[in-house]
Amino acid sequence: MSRTPNTLSRSRGGFTMLELLIVISIIAILALLATGAAMKSLKGSRHRRADATARALELALQNYRATENEWPFAISDFDPPNNSRDPIRYWLHGKNNNKAFKKLFHGRAGQSKTAYLEASSLLTISQGKRITLKAALELGRTDMAIGYPLPDNVNRFCFYCICYNPLTDTVKVYRQDRSHERGNGGSFGCPENY
């Protein structure tokens, strides 16, 4: 059997249009799956960062209490207990949280300026823009509340809430966006009425 010139010219030299479309479709599906997984991971890391910051703020308040033998806030800074909902706990809501955290960055008057918390990783809002608390302090702003971008919507900014229980002389820092979640031991997040 001899080959004719006609069969030689039919040998494949490249991919057909259908094969290219199939390969491009498979690559697009894989990219879509990878992007979805990356976004889910990013959202999870934002939640973990906001939770870790709340714990760090709480520990800084407790360290101040242990070192200075007093809290860095006055009980008069807090909203009084709401007898119908929570007859014991005092709350500092949202933008008022600077009253509890202010002394953590300056130390006591007349003593060494011991900072109980690093301000460079904390965020606040100044003139509608997010800036680090360190930048706000460098601008002389000591009235800035500490917050975080909402993990589910980074365009929304939330503030931390502080709860003080005078019976146990303890504080707890909550995320504003987790106010609906109930913790163990009957503790709960920020009240809805900021």
Per the CB < 8 A criterion, the answer to whether 180 and 189 are in contact is yes
Per the CB < 8 A criterion, the answer to whether 161 and 97 are in contact is yes
At residue 106, the pLDDT reads 62
Model pLDDT for residues 144-171, shown as the tens digit of each residue: 888 888 888 878 888 898 988 888 899 9
DSSP 79: B
Query: Using CA atoms, how far apart are residues 79 and 59, in angstroms rounded to an integer?
Result: 22
Position 122, amino acid = L
* Residue 32 phi, psi (nearest 5): -65, -45
Strands 147-150 and 90-92: unpaired
Residue 82, beta-bridge partner list: 86
Per the CB < 8 A criterion, the answer to whether 103 and 64 are in contact is yes
Whether this prediction's pTM lies above 0.75 is answered by no
Model pLDDT for residues 34-92, shown as the tens digit of each residue: 888 888 888 888 889 999 999 999 999 999 999 889 998 888 888 777 655 666 778 88
Strands annotated E in the chain: 90-92, 123-126, 129-132, 147-150, 153-165, 170-175
Position 19, amino acid = E
Instruction: Give the domain ranges of the chain.
Output: 44-118+147-186
